């Protein structure tokens, strides 16, 4: 036996006004959350640079232990795109290459007498990389430069 579908009674469907209100609410939610989500995406991209900057700091510290502070101070202002700098710190050409950052983005800004260093990272060199500059301070803090 075939069942017949019942026709909806009037008043059981959504009105155009109700649908428009729902669409408006969804549009407002999207407009509010999009900048928040974009900020999180950029923060995730910068985490790649933070990790690499930490490795560079450790390499500079090892270089100071092996070669002395004076030799390490010669690295000031150089970036990891420089082959000699990479070789002195024990990096291969692709060690600083990531999805969003490349070797030229990492610069040794200062070297302290206690073996710590400051690494500056400038984004924007690769497609989809975040723009701006972050600094890995001598004490290990990671902060955006304004």
**Rounded to an integer, what distance in angstroms lies between the CA atom of residue 139 and that of residue 146?**
19
What pLDDT, on a 0 to 100 scale, did the predictor assign at position 1? 62
What pLDDT, on a 0 to 100 scale, did the predictor assign at position 67? 92
pLDDT at 8 over 70: no
pTM of the predicted model as reported, rounded to 2 decimal places = 0.75
Q: Predicted confidence band at 36 (pLDDT cuts at 50, 70, 90)?
A: confident
The mean pLDDT value of the chain amounts to 89
Task: State the average pLDDT over residues 17-33.
Answer: 94
CB count within 10 Å of CB 53 equals 27
Q: What is the pLDDT of residues 68-115, one digit of tens each?
A: 999 999 999 999 999 999 999 999 988 989 999 999 999 999 999 888
Per-position DSSP letters for 32-87, written without gaps between them? HHHHHHHHHHHHHHHHHHHHHHHHHHHHHHHHHHHH-HHHHHTTTT-BTTSHHHHH
């Amino acid at each position: 036996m075939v069942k017949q579908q019942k026709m909806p009674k009037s008043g059981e469907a959504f009105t155009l006004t109700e649908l428009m209100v729902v669409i408006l609410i969804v549009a407002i939610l999207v407009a509010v959350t999009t900048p928040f989500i974009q900020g999180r995406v950029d923060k995730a991209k910068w985490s790649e640079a933070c990790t690499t900057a930490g490795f560079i700091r450790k390499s500079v510290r090892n270089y100071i232990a092996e070669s002395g502070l004076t030799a390490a101070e010669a690295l000031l202002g150089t970036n990891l795109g420089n082959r000699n700098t990479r070789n002195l710190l024990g990096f291969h050409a692709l060690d600083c290459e990531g999805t969003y950052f490349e070797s030229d983005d990492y610069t040794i800004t200062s070297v302290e007498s206690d073996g710590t260093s400051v690494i500056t990272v400038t984004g924007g060199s690769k497609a989809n990389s975040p723009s701006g500059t972050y600094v890995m301070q001598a004490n290990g803090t990671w902060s955006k430069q304004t």
